[in-house]
Structure 1
Amino acid sequence: MNIRPDIAELLRAGLSDRAIAARLGVDATKTVAPARRALGLPTARSGRKPAATPEALFWQRVQPTDGGHLIWTGSRCRASGAQGGCPTLRYGGRQYSAWRIAFRLRYGRAPEGKVALVCGVDGCVAPDHTEDRRIRERTSATFDAIFGGAS
């Protein structure tokens, strides 16, 4: 079975079939439930429960849009330089950057340095649209190797 990546991520984050269907505009019975079974995940319990992790809370604060973007619907900090403020969430008495959580979801490791968005869409926190200093340096080195460094 070919499972959509966005459905798989939301299932792993613990959202119910109905919540995923409503968020992504798909059928819970025909699309989400078979994906849950194929991934071997247990049926979600009914009722609203608090997020178990900052990552689970992250998925509750995003809205998918065209082009694979996930627009942040949660709170934002008032940091200067960030258009509209940086997306943040509070969990367990701590404040987390949604961009850093998105990066960790995509790459399975903590980001090194600043997390940057490669898409340029204001409010986007899609994990696939993030990169850290290590990735930027590797990309720059690859371009230099292919096209020659700056002279």
Structure 2
Amino acid sequence: MTRQQPHPKAGEIRALLEEGLNNRVIARRLDIDVRVVAQTRKDAGLPPAPRSSWTRRPHPKERTIRLLLSEGYTDTAIRERTGADVATIARMRTAGRFGPATIIRRPQRIHPKDAEIRALLRAGRSGNAVALELGVDRAAVRRIRAEAGIPTPPVQPLSLEEKWAAHTRMLEGGHREWTGERVGKSRTPVMRYREKSYSPFAIAFRQRTGRDPVGQAKAECDLHQCVAPEHVEDEPGRTRLREQLSLVMGRAPRKPRCRRGHDQAEHGRYSPDGVPYCQTCHDGETDP
């Protein structure tokens, strides 16, 4: 007659028996047949568990609690998930010899620009645009978007001009304010469209004239960084308007060459109030 092999959990059964637990509690805890526990108790020559061990009924979510304990959750985290009392969970941790928790939740630090990031995301800005404008990490922007439940904006469905219009606002006097992205210390308007950067001034100029600007396009009105197409000029347009202003104000026509001999047809410029000057001489005077 062959000798019966011991049960795979015989060691755990013996340990719980020695703690004084009854057969049904041990069977439920180890997920085995109660008859296996009874036979192990008999083979070990241990007496039945005292009646006092039957007075405490198992928690309705005992298996879930034990699973979370085995995964390393804290008592507080398990309470939040199961609704069980912390004292009950602590007792089960000790009885089951689970040891200290390994999954520790540390409080999330609030990003210094959390409010600004959320505001731009809610305005429909992409994560990359927000990160570039505020100088923050893209991962932080993604995390804050997920925390706030703000959906990712759809792939750009607008044309270049439509997106430009969506980031401008009409003001009194025919001016138009740029409400989109700005860069640098001077807060220069910029627009990103399909992985490229565009000047809102150049877009405004092209809308009015149907061509790309020559040189830098910018506003010639009294509103700083106005992007109204009617107020934006390129370099030849600015020179023409300022020359007309100079003549209206009674100034003498610009000389063909400056005092240093530079051709003013090529190097000549006018200040906003119509005063002529040589760009080459001006740059030389301002160089360090």
| TM-score, normalised by the number of residues in structure 1 | 0.56
Distance 1:49 1:95, change over 3 A: closer
Query: How far off its partner does 1:108 sit?
Result: 1.0
Distance 1:145 1:105, change over 3 A: same
Query: How far off its partner does 1:62 sit?
Result: 0.7
Query: How far off its partner does 1:136 sit?
Result: 1.9
Give the aligned residue type for 1:149.
Answer: P
**Which stretches in structure 2 are left out of the alignment for 5+ residues?**
1-153, 256-288
Query: How far off its partner does 1:49 sit?
Result: 8.2
* Aligned position for 1:35: none
> What is the alpha-carbon distance in structure 2 between the residues aligned to residue 120 and residue 141 of structure 1?
17
Query: How far off its partner does 1:70 sit?
Result: 1.1
Secondary structure class of the residue paired with 2:197: strand
* Aligned position for 1:93: 195
- Whether the 8 Å contact between 2:178 and 2:189 is mirrored in structure 1 is yes
> What is the alpha-carbon distance in structure 1 between the residues aligned to residue 176 and residue 156 of structure 2?
21
Query: Does residue 253 of structure 2 align to residue 149 of structure 1?
Result: yes
Distance 1:66 1:49, change over 3 A: farther
**Which stretches in structure 1 are left out of the alignment for 5+ residues?**
1-47
Alignment of 1:1-151 (within 5 A): 50-78=156-184, 80=185, 82=186, 85-142=187-244, 147=250, 148-150=252-254
> What is the alpha-carbon distance in structure 1 between the residues aligned to residue 195 and residue 183 of structure 2?
15
Give the aligned residue type for 2:253.
Answer: G
> What is the alpha-carbon distance in structure 1 between the residues aligned to residue 229 and residue 193 of structure 2?
19
Q: Percent identity?
A: 32
Secondary structure class of the residue paired with 1:102: helix
Query: How far off its partner does 1:119 sit?
Result: 1.5
Instruction: Give deviations 1:49-106, integer Å, cap 9, x for gaps.
Output: 844321111000011111111111100121x5x3xx1111111100111111111111
Distance 1:51 1:127, change over 3 A: farther
Secondary structure class of the residue paired with 1:56: helix
Query: How far off its partner does 1:150 sit?
Result: 4.0
Stretches of 4+ aligned residues off by more than 4 angstroms: 140-147
Secondary structure class of the residue paired with 2:214: coil
For the pair shown, the structure with the greater C-alpha radius of gyration is 2
- Report the count of equivalent residues: 100
- Whether the 8 Å contact between 2:178 and 2:226 is mirrored in structure 1 is yes
Secondary structure class of the residue paired with 1:71: strand
Give the aligned residue type for 1:109.
Answer: R
Higher normalized contact order (CA 8 Å, seq sep 6+, divided by chain length)? 1
> What is the alpha-carbon distance in structure 2 between the residues aligned to residue 144 and residue 61 of structure 1?
35
Query: How far off its partner does 1:138 sit?
Result: 2.5
| TM-score, normalised by the number of residues in structure 2 | 0.31
> What is the alpha-carbon distance in structure 2 between the residues aligned to residue 51 and residue 61 of structure 1?
15
> What is the alpha-carbon distance in structure 2 between the residues aligned to residue 145 and residue 119 of structure 1?
19
Distance 1:68 1:143, change over 3 A: closer
